Each structure stands twice: as C-alpha cells, then as structure tokens.
Amino acid sequence: MGMTENLLSTSQWIITLLVFLVILVQALRSIDWQALRKDSALQHSFFGAAVVLGFVWQLRAGISPGLAIHIFGITVITLMLGWALAVLSGLLALVITVITGREPLLMFAANGLVTVMVPALVSHWIMLWERGRNFRNFFAYIFFCGFFGAGISVAAAGIVMCLMLWTSGVYTLDELVHEYLRYLPLFMIPEGFVNGTFVTGLMVFHPDRLTTLDQRRYR
C-alpha cells in the first residue's frame, strides 16, 4: 500500500478501477447478508477488524513513493470472515487511512486492490487448497493458511504493486529490485508471524471466530 497521486497513468488508473469494481461486485454478491445481520459476533469481528487495520496501517516505513512497508493483516481477517467480508472490512479500514490523510482518495481503488483484494484472494485460494488436500492435523491449517498464506499473500501484493509501478514508467525494474523486491522475503517473515500467531490464538481460544475452519476435519 502507499500508492500516491501521479504514480499511475490514466489508462492504468481506469483499468485498476475496473478490476477493483469487478472484484467488489463479486464480493458483495458472495456475502450472506441475512446471516450477517443475525450474527452479532460476526458483526463485531467485521467492524472490529476494520478499526484495528485502519490504525495498524497508520504505521509504515518507506522512502520512495508507492513503496511503503507495513503489516497487511488481511490473511487472518480472511480466515475469520471469509474473503468477501474481509474485502469489505479491509476497504473500511482503507477509508480510515483516507480520512486521516495517509492515503489519497484518488488512489483508493489502486490501494484497495493491492492492499486488500489481492491478499484476501490469495489467502482464500490457499485456504481452499489446504481444504482440498483434506489434512487431518490442525497444524496444517495454522501453518498453510496462517503463516504460509500470509507470507505468500503479501508477496503477491508486492509483486502486483511493482508491476503497476514498472509498467507506468515511474520506476525501472532495477530500481524496484534494488529498493523493494530484494527485501520482499524479509517482509514475508513478520507478515507470516503476525498473522500466524493470531490464527493460532484464535484456533486455541476462539475457534468459532474462524469461519473458514472446519473443526470436524481435524482430530
């Protein structure tokens, strides 16, 4: 995250907006709104996640525009809420960063795509892969969906962001490698640790908050 104005060309901005809207519409259609209205615990998780992420995303590091470094935290939210609600919760968190002046409104779609949608979808796909393998040990869920999923999701988001900046001509490939890509494995470690730790804690103390967890599979 950290896309600032004038980093993308007009055509890129339009394409990014269209992709953003397609994913957003699909997320809105995938949500069971009736179940959400009836489940107060899910509502608390949804809004609580948005507030926590909104404040966590205020903390970031970076020198060059568009190459900010921070904890995403989308993986644990995806495992808690499912990918569709995670996207909406993440976008609410992004609204907080816009209100506080950390992100420009003009780049909301670009930042939403990179920071929220890509990590949520990657985390969802990894969760589906783990489910499809039908592992019987609950450590598989913690490791693959939590630790591993978070690291891969932030790497995917970083690569998408770099591709956008490279194709816009703002940075050369050498600059992106030197300033961001070569450090990407280092970003994956804390992201995996933070998300994996929260997933482990939830699985031990509040497994019911992980809507993607099928407790019957593990023994």
Query: Which DSSP string corresponds to 123-151?
Result: HHHHHHHHHHHT--SHHHIIIIIIIIHHH
pLDDT 10s digits, 21-42: 999 999 999 999 998 999 999 9
Helix 83-99, helix 40-56: angle, nearest 10: 40
- Chain-centroid distance, C-alpha 5: 21
- Cα(12)–Cα(168) distance, integer angstroms: 7
Q: Examine the pLDDT at 88 and tell me if it is beyond 80.
A: yes
- 205-215: per-residue pLDDT in tens? 988 899 998 87
The predicted-structure confidence for 107-139, as pLDDT tens digits, reads as follows 899 999 999 999 999 999 999 999 988 888 888
pLDDT at 64 over 80: no
Domains of the chain with CATH codes: 10-217 (1.10.1760.20)
From residue 61, alpha-carbon distances to 2, 106, 125 in Å are 10, 21, 29
Across the range 162-176, mean pLDDT stands at 87
In angstroms, rounded to a whole number, what is the distance separating the alpha carbons of residues 197 and 186?
A: 17
